[in-house]
Structure 1
Amino acid sequence: MTGQRTKTLLVLGASGKVGRLLHAIWSAHPPSGLRVLYQFRNATSDDADCVQFSLGDPVGRIGPVDAVLSLWGVTSGDNNTLAMNSELANEAMRIARATGADRVLHSSSIAVYAPSDRPLNETDPVAAPNAYGVAKSAMENAVRSVTGPRSCALRIGSVAGAESLATSVDAYLAASAKAPLSLHRFRSGHGPARSYIAPSDLAQVVEALTLCPIGDLPGILNVGSAKPVTMDALLTAADIPFDWQPAPIGAREYAVLNTDRLHDLVPLPKADSDPARITRDWLKWRALS
């Protein structure tokens, strides 16, 4: 980074699970060539890297920004509530325009795709099977038509430490009387297979996309490890006991992304799909976030 100006990245929705993990990582290992600001609705004046900002506030208090990472969003509720995802994405674009940012990285989801047992490509049809996926697809369309900074929709699989399995593990670790978790078992003999990504690897992805030439930034990018990871492999690596339950009819065994485009852009570790490595990283930053 010698001779290059340090860029400023604004993280919207920093109080969420993913935001807290990234904050822990970047506080311990400040990214080279990058200054990170974190948006909270309530930030104390002592937090030099935090910005107090709510939806619709004047943008002047933020100061100049080079890139925006939009993590804020709504994951559940009725259609009107989920429609807030588009409003928040448009607000991220407004903030980016006002602060001089040339790009916005929008947190989207694998949920926008039609279910498939094969790895999903960025060019595959968008046909979400649930209301959340429909809302995220609408969010992507909303910002695609907005003029201004370049948008990149990050279609994220599962961030280790910030999804349903992590919620169950957190409850297990906090319980005084620990009962094994329950996990669906499919005919393959394994639990659900997902495109997990370790928190540190996600941080590396965001850094790379923030610092890359604007012409190299894709409009859509799948985000996950190179190979599928099963939930039973993660629990085994974490030494968390679990009991098998037969997977019910209609349960989805595979929700997996093709991440070739990501791995061409970002030099992630070759072991990015290793359950033990993902688990170590997840539990390390869980304790600090």
Structure 2
Amino acid sequence: MTGTTQQRGLLVLGASGNLGRMLMRHWQAGGPDGWSTTWQYRENPPANGIRWQPGEPAPAALSSIGAVLALWGVTPRTSGATPSDMAENTTLAIRAMELAAILGAERVLHCSSAAVYVPGPEPLGEDAAGGDINAYGRAKLDMEQAIADWCAEHPGGPGAVIMRIANMSGADALFTTIQNGARRVTLDWFASGEGPSRSYISVRGLAQAIETLLDCPIDPVPMILNVATQPPLSMEAIARAAGCGVDWRTAPEGAAPLVWLDTGRLERLTELPEESAASLVDEWCDGESAA
């Protein structure tokens, strides 16, 4: 066994965000099996956390950190966020790489988004990113390029894995509307006679992907992977599984009937469980009841 594989400390950056809270609940306030996990907070950390923020010296209390999981970032739903604020995603990603290098970590897992793609009728492979995408997608692509540039400039530093994450159950606009107590949701109706469908990932599925990407050898792992379960799910079916009625509006110009992530790269490393609208909602409800 090498010294690298003996390093089983995991630092999670951005523990106080929505995704951090969801993963902490899933891991029952611990972390992935086999990893001693420390959760980073900017203020008021709990017993399993540390207070630290970018610009400060590396936390002295950390040792034997083998990996960093960077959950932090600015999204369109971040309070008060503007397109210019989205550039902070690049800054935070590079801070994660720099901190990992100081701590001697082998790898950093970053969170990107399906927003880097122009939706179409076919599955979207990792090489299809770019084009006429929104400000958030462009910021995430800029972040990804900055990470690749940093790795090229630091060949002896930690490796990077970028997860382009599908719609997250409990975190996307549909689930947020449901969580806020809506009894009815409004969805787009397309000329095809259908509503929207999206690739989704549950916290259970995301946790499995993260665990795989932490535990497998770093060398054969692609730098960029789509993270989603299959197949894409109807947003109408999700709303109805959550007990909501559905109202329809004519889809505005530019609305996407389908966002479908090709997960072939990830499937070569792990097989995520297939999800249905009902299983996605049930798992989300279980997490909410445990909160």
What TM-score do you get using the length of structure 2 for normalisation? 0.89
Change (3 A) 1:128 1:287: farther
How many residue pairs end up in the alignment? 277
Contact 1:6/1:33 (8 A) holds in 2: no
Matched, 1:72 2:72: yes
What secondary structure does 2:127 align onto? coil
Superposition pairs of residues 25-36 of structure 1, within 5 angstroms: 25-27=26-28, 31-36=32-37
Look up the equivalent residue of 1:198 and give its one-letter code. S
**Of 124-133 and 138-147, the range deviating more from structure 2:** 124-133
| 1:53 equivalent in structure 2 | 52
| 2:126 equivalent in structure 1 | 122
Deviation per CA, 1:223-255: give whole Å up to 9, x if none. 111211111111122222222222223211111
Structure 2 distance, partners of 1:71, 1:36, is 14
Deviation, 1:5, is: 4.2
| 1:206 equivalent in structure 2 | 210
Matched, 1:217 2:225: no
Structure 2, unaligned runs of 5 or more: none
| 2:102 equivalent in structure 1 | 98
Contact 2:89/2:143 (8 A) holds in 1: yes
Deviation per CA, 1:176-210: give whole Å up to 9, x if none. xx542212222344322111011111011111101
Q: CA RMSD in A?
A: 1.9
Deviation, 1:62, is: 4.9
What secondary structure does 2:128 align onto? coil
Deviation per CA, 1:117-175: give whole Å up to 9, x if none. 21110122422511111111000011111122111111111111111111101112xxx
Superposition pairs of residues 99-248 of structure 1, within 5 angstroms: 99-146=103-150, 147=154, 148-172=157-181, 179-248=183-252
Contact 2:24/2:31 (8 A) holds in 1: no
Deviation per CA, 1:41-62: give whole Å up to 9, x if none. 1134xx3321111121111335
What secondary structure does 2:252 align onto? coil
Structure 2 distance, partners of 1:61, 1:286, is 35
What secondary structure does 2:180 align onto? helix
Look up the equivalent residue of 2:32 and give its one-letter code. P
Structure 2 distance, partners of 1:170, 1:134, is 28
Contact 2:24/2:30 (8 A) holds in 1: no
Contact 1:9/1:210 (8 A) holds in 2: no
Deviation, 1:268, is: 1.5
Contact 2:7/2:66 (8 A) holds in 1: no
Structure 1 distance, partners of 2:40, 2:30, is 19
What TM-score do you get using the length of structure 1 for normalisation? 0.89
What is the percent sequence identity of the aligned residues?
40
Change (3 A) 1:171 1:288: same
Deviation, 1:116, is: 2.0
Superposition pairs of residues 235-274 of structure 1, within 5 angstroms: 235-269=239-273, 272-274=274-276
